[in-house]
Amino acid sequence: MSAYGDMRRYLNLTYIIWVTAIITLIITVAYPLFMLIYRSLFTGSQLTLGAYKKMIEDPHTLEYTLNTLKLGVLATLFSILVGVPLAWIVTRTDIPLKNLIKTLAILPFIFPPYIGAIAWIQLAAPYIGYINRISRALGFGDIVNIYSFWGLVLVMSLRYYVYVFLTTRAALEQMDPSLEEAARMSGARMLKVAKDITLPLVTPSITSGALLTFVAACANFGIPALIGERARYYVLTTKIYSVLAIPDLDRATAYSMILLLITGIALFIQRRAFKGKKFTTITGRTARPSVALLGKWRIPILVLLLVFLILASVIPLISLIISAFLKNIAGSPLDPNNLTLENFRKVLFVDRDTTIAVRISLFSALISATVITLFGALLAYIIVKTRIRGRLFLDWLSSVPYALPGTVVAVAIIFGFIKTPIFNTIWIIPFAYFVRYLSYGVRTTIGSLLQIDPSLEEASRMSGANWLTTMKNIVLPLIKPGLIAGWILVFMPTLSELTVSIILYPPNMPTIGVATFNLMDAGYYTWAYALSSIVVFIVVICHLILRKITGKFGVRGF
């Protein structure tokens, strides 16, 4: 076998893989989106611009759009208010217990957003929420009603501030410390250094995180569906869901296009405007950044921070789990007669919807995680290790469905695949998950592959091994932990997913997320809490496993 022959066959194989990948992506990503846009312009085969006409005629379009934007903007503002100081305190001061704070800070991220909404509902519902009951007992009367615009903003911000925290923290950690030291030598005090030097240089990262928050807040379904409906605050995602039930496809398309536009613009700004920023402050130096001494403020600020973080993330979850053991939610959790395992029994073994949901979600999550990991690894390999033209397009294409709102992706899938045999069968769910979460698998494997210095593979080839043997003996073992981590990172969100499955699930075949949502919707609160607690439990277990494998906390959403 000549070297040239080997090379040619290798190129052919890679080419075949590349073509397969492109075709798969076109079918699963480009085609449904194209159908969505097509449907917005054509009804049947006539260019009626039906969706756009509906957009203009419908008196509510403006209201829903503005509501979505208002919610997005305010959630972003609060996220900045929380995320930036948190990041600064964690990277630039000598506050103790930094690891604990970092863990608590990203805690909201590992659970699906609707869990947070459910947790806050049972904490802050009018009349029977714990907060109101406690404040009544103290004589203050009812003080909160989660079913309000501000309730929405609260839950949204507490979930998505993590984006801002993470991007800001990364920028602060990577910034060249001598820039701040020079300012101190020039006479500037700690806060002035932060204002004049640190802040301007970190602003691009803050903005990047803020835009991610904005997109996520506009695209979320679970939180406005559970909280906003009763507050009579309607946004595009919840309205798309409602009108699809009628079914009013024109309106659904119209709202989807608006949502697509909003998130598309925001993402475009986020990717372009901050890529080639000239403030290249990232250096390879491992010097530690200068740290401000908090002095006598150390303990008070620590206490304040911990209280805030625990109140924001831990308390809602704990009270959710406690409530899952209640017979009657109006009763007291301290009353032993009110405690029961019945909710869990009902949910896991008795109720048809929930028992089948658990099986469907397990099934879908297992399949999509496995297929995504394999296919994603394939794509990642092409993107990282080959020089085929168009591989960056491959990367971009696979990441589109994750960047877009899940609701829009679901609607696009309806338009693309309603006439296909998989529609309205159980297979539509893992298929939709594949489309939406493929980029997870691609991203994590790309990360693992990039960590392998090409010289490792080259040494193997110099030692006489061909491409396949090198893959088997060198590359695969090195990326195995990455692949497993990637598998878990897809398994977790697909197991508990709501946004896409609520729109696509076939009759009588709900997923765990859908079943939980339906239980809340129908007022079977304690059952919903029980199912949610099970989700929380599974997510925590998966995360601990992930941590063991990767040595650091895997983050949902990145």
Q: Closer to other proteins at the Cβ: 251 or 543?
A: 251
Q: Closer to other proteins at the Cβ: 275 or 278?
A: 278
C-alpha 150/C-alpha 162 separation (Å) is 19
Q: Closer to other proteins at the Cβ: 173 or 351?
A: 351
Nearest to 62 by CA among 223, 213, 225, 255: 255
Q: Closer to other proteins at the Cβ: 35 or 193?
A: 193
Q: Which two tokens stand for residue 117?
A: 């909404």
3-state DSSP helix/strand/coil % of the chain, to nearest 5: 75, 0, 25
Q: Closer to other proteins at the Cβ: 17 or 555?
A: 17
SS3 215: helix
Q: Which two tokens stand for residue 215?
A: 């997109």
Nearest 5°: the CA angle 31, 35, 38 is 135
Nearest 5°: the CA angle 165, 167, 169 is 65
In whole angstroms, the minimum distance from the beta carbon of 522 to other proteins comes to 5
In whole angstroms, the minimum distance from the beta carbon of 468 to other proteins comes to 6
C-alpha 68/C-alpha 475 separation (Å) is 46
Nearest to 520 by CA among 370, 345, 323, 256: 323
Distances (CA, A) of 45 to 38, 40, 50, 254: 10, 11, 11, 18
Q: Closer to other proteins at the Cβ: 173 or 196?
A: 196
Query: Contact residues for other proteins (CB under 8 A)?
Result: 1, 9, 13, 63, 67, 125-128, 132, 136, 141-142, 145, 147, 176, 178-179, 181-189, 192, 196-197, 200-201, 230-234, 245-247, 278-281, 283, 285, 290, 328-330, 352, 359, 362-363, 366-367, 370-371, 374, 426, 466, 468, 507-508, 521-525
Q: Closer to other proteins at the Cβ: 352 or 548?
A: 352
> C-alpha 535: how far from its chain's center?
16
Range list of H helices, 332-471? 342-345, 352-385, 391-403, 406-417, 428-450, 454-462, 467-470
Q: Closer to other proteins at the Cβ: 180 or 497?
A: 180
In whole angstroms, the minimum distance from the beta carbon of 233 to other proteins comes to 6
In whole angstroms, the minimum distance from the beta carbon of 348 to other proteins comes to 15
R_g over Cα of the chain: 25
SS3 544: helix
Phi-psi region of 97 (alpha: psi -120 to 50; beta: other; left: phi over 0): left
Q: Closer to other proteins at the Cβ: 331 or 390?
A: 331
Cα pseudo-dihedral 373, 375, 379, 384, rounded to 10: 40
Query: How deeply is 464 buried, as exposed, middle or buried, from its count of CB atoms within 10 A (0-12, 13-18, 19+)?
Result: exposed
In whole angstroms, the minimum distance from the beta carbon of 396 to other proteins comes to 26
In whole angstroms, the minimum distance from the beta carbon of 465 to other proteins comes to 11
In whole angstroms, the minimum distance from the beta carbon of 312 to other proteins comes to 24
In whole angstroms, the minimum distance from the beta carbon of 367 to other proteins comes to 6
In whole angstroms, the minimum distance from the beta carbon of 309 to other proteins comes to 29
DSSP letter for 330, please: T
